[in-house]
Amino acid sequence: MAKNIVYRMAFPKKVRNERELKLYIMIGILVFVIACAVIAKLISYKYWTCIYTAFGNENYYKAVAKLEREGIPYKTKTPMNLGTENFQNRHETTQYDVFVKKEQEHIAQRAINKN
């Protein structure tokens, strides 16, 4: 009897079925995991700074090759450009943001601007 009262108090009338309860728990866990992943991503970019924005694959590969030649670790972020009219030539217009650690910003700038 006491178990039934606690159960009724804890869950609304709509969630009396155990399968529904498990579904709500799974959805809650999924939302929690996604939130943790987003927060971790935001925190990881806290110590990185954007040093270069390239448009097109060719410019991106040139910049990344210069960083790799100097041994500088980098991350790349590509914003979603879903509304572009020129979908067939998207490799020429894709935006790439190149990030490096804040401590290596000056070294990376020198490497990028070197011919």
Q: Decide if 106 contacts 57 (C-beta within 8 A).
A: no
Which residue stretches of the chain have pLDDT < 70?
1-16, 81-91
Tell the residue number behind the tokens 């991350």, with chain if given. 75
pLDDT at residue 7 in the model: 57
pTM exceeds cut of 0.75:
no
Backbone angles phi, psi at 80, to 5 degrees: -80, 120
C-alpha distances in Å from residue 30, one per residue of 14, 39, 67, 87, 110: 21, 14, 37, 33, 43
